[in-house]
Structure 1
Amino acid sequence: MKIVFIGAGSMAEAMIKGIKNAKAFRQDDLWVTNKNDKERLLLLTETYEINSSYDTRNLLKDADVIILAVKPKDASDALQTIQPYMNGQLLISVLAGLSIGFIERIIGQAPIARAMPNTSAMIGQSATGLAFNDHIFDLQRSLATSIFSAIGSVTHVEESHLDLVTGLSGSGPAYIYYIVEAMEKAAAELGEDAMPFIIQTLKGAAHMLETSDRTPEELRKAITSEGGTTEAGIAQLEYHHVKDAFAECIKEATDHSERLRRQFEQAHNI
């Protein structure tokens, strides 16, 4: 098995670390390259003990999977660089706003998947949406699923739903970290080190959501006693329209993913 990462940024690193920690594939199976940042490439190869090369022919020789993880502005050049060496390998893009149709216009008919993981892949806790084109074989579909299953949960979706996946779970960890920032700030003003409490509270709530047969609303109401502290806190969230703000946050991130795709395609006359 040979899995090649085109791009060595934060998402590529998160996936490499998650895959290696899961021991689903051998570290010799993993290869990585980038455009020209040799220092960054050396850091990844030494940290995770994987392979790297700037020789595209050698890099893609006998590759089973190519994972496109470059910056969107570099996607077109990267695809044109690898196109001459494409020979039925599975190509997986993890770029927001880059459609399967755009990829096909550059590399032609090929088995292509689009995935939207998040950086929690680094600890095997990503939530990944995965979509395929019509040229993929069952074995390649299973292989793509196994790669992302090694770094978290996988849900097969229609490509048209990936903008929402991007806005919801692709960006989702940042929303949670934002909440934690607010909780930590409030506690700091009270003179307490809140992080141990916050982390365990989040872990406990997540586990309840995962294991309980009750809805989030039912779980919330179960700890919101009339006249109690939770009710007082929730009242402030309602007063400041926090629930509406989060709904708008996800909607805007989803819409922006779609805008990025349209802008990218317009810029390349598609």
Structure 2
Amino acid sequence: MNWGIIGTGNMGKVLLHSLTQSQAVEEKNLYLYNRTLMKAYELLNQYPNVHVERSLTSMANKCDVLLLCAKPKEILEIAKKLQPNIRKDQLIISITSSISTDHLDQILPCKTARMIPSITNQSLTGATLLSFGQRTNAIDQQMIKQTCKLFSEPVEVKDETVRAASDLVSCGPAFLSYVLEDMIQSVEKETLLKREDAEKFIETMVIGFGRLLEERHFSLQTLREKVMVKGGITGVGMKALEKEIHNSFNQVFINTHEKFATEQEMVEALIHEAKMNFSG
């Protein structure tokens, strides 16, 4: 089975690495296309046995599964260009929450799915969020789940919770990186600790923190309770955090959901326009 990645930006590269490093897909069975062809050709230095195609038509003709790794508006444009060359037995997958399988089903005659990756997949860990179109059968769904299981924990999500899940799984690493970077900047400003030492301490702490959770030594709550000795220094610091950070993520999720709603309105309008043009 041949897989194609259309769009070799950040998440396209993550999926390329995850699929090949986990041996979910052999390099010889992977095809790449990018609007700026040189960016795709540059990846041959790291993945010498993948194929770079010069057109979407070629990708449609050679691939059984196509991953659309682009922004919502671009994904719709790509889907419309692919449509004349797509067979009913092919599978096309969107990687963005704003493009649902229903959206793809309205444009394409084939099987569809949505697979939202996380940058953590690059280390063959973390979650992958999955949704399946109406034309996919149990065998198709099992194939996608088994493929994702080689580099992540696949989780099926519904349309009504996909944005919230994506905020945690896909955006979460960026949000946590910001918080940790703020810790580093603050300790550098308020103490004599050098930045390079602070970065090293934070990195080793986060790795150890992840292992404690992975090995089920603690939950988030019991870990916090274990570290916070009554009347100790951690508790004093925690009071400052509770004052400054408590409920601050509410606005984060309000913002992401507002952006999500705006993107979905745009997608619906574009699909409606495409239908009107087709019927005209």
TM-score (norm 2): 0.88
Partner Cα distance (1:198, 1:70) in 2: 32
- Offset from partner CA, 1:27-49 (integer Å, 9 cap, x none): 111111022x0221111233222
Partner Cα distance (2:246, 2:23) in 1: 39
DSSP-derived class of the 2:15 partner? helix
- Post-superposition shift, 1:245? 0.8
Comparing 188-197 with 92-101, which one deviates more in the overlay? 188-197
Partner residue of 1:223? 227
DSSP-derived class of the 1:128 partner? strand
Asked whether the equivalents of residues 32 and 41 of structure 1 are also in contact (C-alpha less than 8 Å), the reply is yes
- Offset from partner CA, 1:7-65 (integer Å, 9 cap, x none): 11110001101221112221111111022x02211112332221111233432224221
Asked whether the equivalents of residues 99 and 261 of structure 1 are also in contact (C-alpha less than 8 Å), the reply is no
Asked whether the equivalents of residues 97 and 261 of structure 1 are also in contact (C-alpha less than 8 Å), the reply is yes
1:169-184 superposed matches below 5 A: 169-184=169-184
Partner residue of 2:253? 250
Partner Cα distance (2:22, 2:253) in 1: 30
Partner Cα distance (1:152, 1:80) in 2: 30
Comparing 150-159 with 76-85, which one deviates more in the overlay? 150-159
Partner Cα distance (1:209, 1:142) in 2: 28
* Equivalent AA in structure 1 for residue 107 of structure 2: I
- Offset from partner CA, 1:106-142 (integer Å, 9 cap, x none): 113x321111112222222232110112211222212
Asked whether the equivalents of residues 163 and 255 of structure 1 are also in contact (C-alpha less than 8 Å), the reply is no
- Post-superposition shift, 1:267? 4.2
Asked whether the equivalents of residues 116 and 162 of structure 1 are also in contact (C-alpha less than 8 Å), the reply is no
- Post-superposition shift, 1:251? 4.2
Asked whether the equivalents of residues 97 and 257 of structure 1 are also in contact (C-alpha less than 8 Å), the reply is yes
DSSP-derived class of the 1:67 partner? strand
Partner Cα distance (1:183, 1:47) in 2: 35
Aligned pair count?
267
Partner residue of 1:97? 98
Comparing 13-22 with 189-198, which one deviates more in the overlay? 189-198
> 2:216 is matched with which residue: 184, 188, 212?
212
Partner residue of 1:64? 64
DSSP-derived class of the 1:269 partner? helix
Would you say 1:186 and 2:186 are equivalent positions?
yes
- Offset from partner CA, 1:197-255 (integer Å, 9 cap, x none): 11121122222223336432222112111221110111001111x13112432343244
Gaps of 5+ in 1: none
CA distance change for structure 1 residues 169 and 235 in 2, over 3 Å: closer, same or farther? same
Partner Cα distance (1:55, 1:69) in 2: 15
Asked whether the equivalents of residues 128 and 152 of structure 2 are also in contact (C-alpha less than 8 Å), the reply is yes
Partner residue of 1:160? 160
Partner residue of 2:5? 5
- Post-superposition shift, 1:166? 1.7
- Post-superposition shift, 1:172? 0.6
Partner Cα distance (1:202, 1:55) in 2: 43
Would you say 1:106 and 2:107 are equivalent positions?
yes
Would you say 1:263 and 2:242 are equivalent positions?
no
TM-score (norm 1): 0.91
- Post-superposition shift, 1:268? 4.1
DSSP-derived class of the 1:134 partner? coil
Query: What is the aligned-residue RMSD (CA, Å)?
Result: 1.9
